[in-house]
Amino acid sequence: MKTLDLEFWKRALPALLDAFAANEGRLCAYDGAIGDGDHGSSMVRGFAEARKSADQDPPADVGEVFGRIGEAFLGGVGGVTGVVFGTLFLSAGGNAAGKRDVDTQDLHAMLAAGLAAVVERGSVREGDKSMLDALSPAVTALAEAARENREPAEALGLAGRAAAEGLEATRSMVAKVGRARYQGDKAVGHLDAGAASVALIFETLAAGALDRRGEP
pLDDT in tens, 46-55: 999 999 999 9
Quote the number of domains for the chain: 1
Spell out a b/e string for 53-62, using b for 16 or more CB atoms within 10 Å of the CB, else e. bbeeeebebb
C-alpha–C-alpha distance, residues 32 and 3, integer Å: 39
pTM here is 0.94
8 Å CB contact between 131 and 100: no
- Report pLDDT for 124: 84
- Residue 22, class by beta-carbon neighbours within 10 Å (0-12 exposed, 13-18 middle, 19+ buried)? exposed
In this prediction, residue 185 carries a pLDDT of 59
Q: CA-CA distance, 173 to 132, in Å (whole number)?
A: 13
Cα distance between residue 47 and residue 76, in whole Å: 10
Domain membership of residue 129 as a residue range: 4-214
pLDDT digits (tens, 9 = 90+) for 9-63: 999 999 999 999 999 999 999 999 878 889 999 999 999 999 999 999 999 999 9
What dihedral angle (degrees, nearest 10) is formed by the CA atoms of 195, 158, 165, 18? 40
pLDDT over 90 percentage in the chain: 81
Torsion of CA 31, 178, 129, 135, to 10 degrees: 90
pLDDT band at 8 (very low <50, low <70, confident <90, very high): very high
State pLDDT tens for residues 120-161.
987 788 988 999 999 999 999 999 999 999 999 999 999 999
Residue 179 pLDDT? 61
CATH number at 133 reads: 1.25.40.340
Q: What is the pLDDT of residue 36?
A: 81
CA 91 from centroid of its chain's CA atoms: 12
